[in-house]
Amino acid sequence: MTTRDRLLTVFGGGQPDRLPNVEFGYWDETLARWRTEGLPANVDSDASAERHFKLEGITIFTEVPVINGLHPRFPRIVLEESDDRSIIRDEEGNICEVLSEHSSMPRYVKFGLQNREDWERLKQERLDPDAPGRIGDLRQALVSARESGMPLFVHAGSLYGWLRNWMGVEAFSIALMTDREWVEEMMEHLTLLTLTLLERVLSAVPLDICWWWEDMCYNRGPLMSPRLFRELMVPRYKRITGLLRKHGVTTNVLDCDGSIHQLAPYWLEAGINCMFPLEVAHTDAAQLRTEFGSRLLLLGGVDKRALIAGKEGIDREIERLLPLVRQGRYIPCVDHRVPADVSLENYVYYLKKKEALLTEK
């Protein structure tokens, strides 16, 4: 079986020859550390690490060449620079402070989207579905996917996450309460942008998976109320998943960190049916399975802290996940990018122990 065969079979409720050996990726500092511990010098990216460890995705799944969201993106400009940090204008138009040598969340100084005037300019200049260059060679992507045996997927984008990135959590939260009409206007435009692009893609090539990104939860729950989420976002999601379903795409993967328990039923209602990466510190994958059964697909859920703890912690983690694997419609992988606290020795041990989990019948 190919990776595509395995993924579609397990998410369809069938029994593949084994589960696909999927991982999510690595922080730059992780690969830098591992190169001092024996990783070859040319392994310097997620994709090269995936191939080195003989893994099957997610970073080497085949993505159709479609640019959803901002296009063109803002040119990254360094405004100020010191020995260990810089003030930049990032690719989303925000002014922020970033560390020079470490991966970390930036400190935002000023967000690019602050009022309706900014929105109108952004919509016209960077959110036009007809802008040249948004769609590349779709047929070649299909050929590449079939030759490699990888699933072909598309990004459906975001309704909350992008606006939060462009406005900041505080300003967007205030807008939800004080100018709902404007928030709906922005979400509607993003919905129409995604629908327009998907219609063009789906008329040209068959897709396997649709990928979504929201990152709208923290360690205790969502950053907007479930009521507002259901009123503002679920109907718009349904229009997109409805179009996908007409073209045979029934696997919609939602990338959201934090505690997703309060929003999971509404994503499922909206047709977004696979939760990822199931950050163990805040989301209980077994509880989701108990609550929603096999209707909810699961991807992730391996506690990165177990890899930091060492071999005994890894053994316990693999044993903990065995019942979930046996229930089906679940693919285990680390619950975010592998952090630099994990030694190369521990990671290799984890991959070896996971092999038995992938072939569990």
Instruction: Provide the residue ranges of all domains of the chain, joining segments of one domain with +.
Output: 1-58+300-361, 62-70+127-276, 72-112
Q: Which residues pair with 199 in a beta bridge?
A: none
pLDDT in tens, 225-278: 999 999 999 999 999 999 999 999 999 999 999 999 999 999 999 999 999 999
Highest CATH level, class, for 62-70+127-276: alpha beta
Statement: residue 142 has pLDDT above 80: yes
Q: For 250, left (φ over 0), alpha (ψ -120 to 50), or beta?
A: alpha
Above pLDDT 70, what percent of the chain?
99
8-state DSSP, 267: H
- pLDDT of 295-335, one tens digit each? 999 999 999 999 999 999 999 999 999 999 999 999 999 99
Token digits of residue 99: 């560390």
pLDDT digits (tens, 9 = 90+) for 29-66: 999 999 999 999 999 999 999 999 999 988 889 999 99
Predicted TM-score (pTM) of the model is: 0.95
Sheet containing strand 107-110, edge to edge, reads 77-81, 85-89, 95-99, 107-110
- The model's confidence at residue 361, banded by pLDDT at 50, 70 and 90, is low
pLDDT tens-digit readout, 175-225: 999 999 999 999 999 999 999 999 999 999 999 999 999 999 999 999 999
> Do the beta carbons of residue 198 and residue 155 sit within 8 Å?
no
Angstrom distance (rounded) from CA 147 to CA 162: 33
**pLDDT of amino acid 313:** 98
Write down the pLDDT at residue 117.
Answer: 98
Closest Cα to residue 60, out of 159, 138, 157, 147? 147
**Do residues 155 and 211 touch, judged by C-beta distance below 8 A?**
yes
| Dist. CA 91–CA 142, nearest whole Å | 29
